[in-house]
Structure 1
């Protein structure tokens, strides 16, 4: 088995989550295709440089692209994320530099979630992780978008949430009120220039490094550390697949 390939235990977890093959349609071995996709995600290689053992690069890319368009990769990630207790969540974002292959193209096209920030053209990954540091919500946006602007949609629907932990970048009254309306407590320090300072439980806030550690693990997948995909949906699919791999590795190691 190659270095980045799925083990038997990992494949047993993810296989039931993939779409069933239509009757009478011969499909390329799904495990081999997925191993090829993970090779690209981890190494950051162009699709055309995929090793021959995975089959034609166009076949692997077409499956990745087609299922990204259909939302399959997001559905697989969500199926695993739904197993999280969600009682305590940590939210943060990370700036990802957009490669020239991603940022090029004609003007006036659809929103590719690439914007101009201090570091140049970039995309921002927004993530919510649980108390184990496993991702439960993901989104991408233009690099210059403020953190709290994306937070409302990201935490909506977390019905079991009791504590939300975030840094000062999420200090917005509307977000705090949203968290309180969900029956949870917002552990978000106030901006230093505010007259009234919100108290934060230090022991809880100290655990915020869980989301920072998630981003460190995510960026071991070089296709997520630098954005090569033109389409926002494909980049989000790559992030979701890498996050799926983190989930199944945790399951395998704890069972």
Structure 2
């Protein structure tokens, strides 16, 4: 088995989440195709450089693209994340540089969540993780977008919890009120220039490193650490697939 291939336990966990094969249609071996996709995500290699053991690169790319468009990869991640007890929700965002191949295209075209910030052309990955540092909600925006503006959308639809943790970039009264209305307590420090400072529990706030560690694991996937895909849906699909791999590896370590 190659280095980045799914183990037997990992395959047993993810196989039931794949779409059912239509009758009369022989689909290319799902496990080989998934291994091919994970190879590309992990190494950051161009699709054309996919090793021969994974079969034609066009098969892997077409499956990845088609299922990204259909929302399959995101649903697989959401199915795994649904098992989270979520006694705590930690929010943060992380910038990724956009490669020149991702940033091409005509001006005035569709919004592909690429913007210009201090680092040049960038995108921003937003995430909510639970008390184990496992992701439960993901989003993508242009790099210059405000962190706090995405927070209400990230929390929408998630279970109500007693503790929501974020850094000063999320200091927004609307967000504080939203967490309070949902029956929780926001552990979000106030900006240093505010006259009235809001106190937070230091022990709880220190656990914010869980979401930072999640982003560190996520960026081990080189195709996420640097954005190569032009379409926002394909980038979010890559983040969802990498997050699903983090989930199933957690399951594997506890079995």
Residue 25 in 1 paired to residue 25 in 2? yes
**Counterparts of residues 210-221 of structure 1 (less than 5 Å):** 210-221=210-221
Provide the secondary structure at the position in 2 that maps to 1:61: helix
Question: 1:110-135, CA deviations, whole angstroms, 9 ceiling, x for partnerless residues?
Answer: 10000000000000000000010000
Q: Post-superposition shift, 1:160?
A: 3.3
Normalised by the length of structure 1, the TM-score is: 0.99
Aligned to 1:72: 72
Aligned to 2:52: 52
Question: 1:57-96, CA deviations, whole angstroms, 9 ceiling, x for partnerless residues?
Answer: 0110000000000000000000011110112011000000
Aligned residues: 255
1:147–1:169 CA contact under 8 A, matched in 2: yes
Supply the distance in 1 between the matched residues of 2:251 and 2:55 (Cα, whole angstroms): 29
Provide the secondary structure at the position in 2 that maps to 1:246: helix
Aligned to 2:191: 191
Aligned to 1:233: 233
Aligned to 1:43: 43
1:159–1:182 CA contact under 8 A, matched in 2: no
Q: How big is the alpha-carbon RMSD for the aligned residues of Structure 1 and Structure 2?
A: 0.6
Q: Post-superposition shift, 1:106?
A: 1.6
Provide the secondary structure at the position in 1 that maps to 2:39: helix
Residue 85 in 1 paired to residue 85 in 2? yes
Supply the distance in 1 between the matched residues of 2:193 and 2:27 (Cα, whole angstroms): 59
Supply the distance in 2 between the matched residues of 1:162 and 1:26 (Cα, whole angstroms): 48
Supply the distance in 2 between the matched residues of 1:153 and 1:110 (Cα, whole angstroms): 21
1:115–1:142 CA contact under 8 A, matched in 2: yes
**Counterparts of residues 10-21 of structure 1 (less than 5 Å):** 10-21=10-21
Q: Post-superposition shift, 1:195?
A: 1.2
Aligned to 1:117: 117
Question: 1:9-37, CA deviations, whole angstroms, 9 ceiling, x for partnerless residues?
Answer: 00000000010000000100000000000
Q: Which moved more, 1:61-70 or 1:106-115?
A: 106-115
Unaligned runs of 5+ in 1: none
Supply the distance in 2 between the matched residues of 1:25 and 1:157 (Cα, whole angstroms): 36
Normalised by the length of structure 2, the TM-score is: 0.99
Residue 208 in 1 paired to residue 208 in 2? yes
Q: Post-superposition shift, 1:107?
A: 1.6
Unaligned runs of 5+ in 2: none
Supply the distance in 2 between the matched residues of 1:42 and 1:163 (Cα, whole angstroms): 33
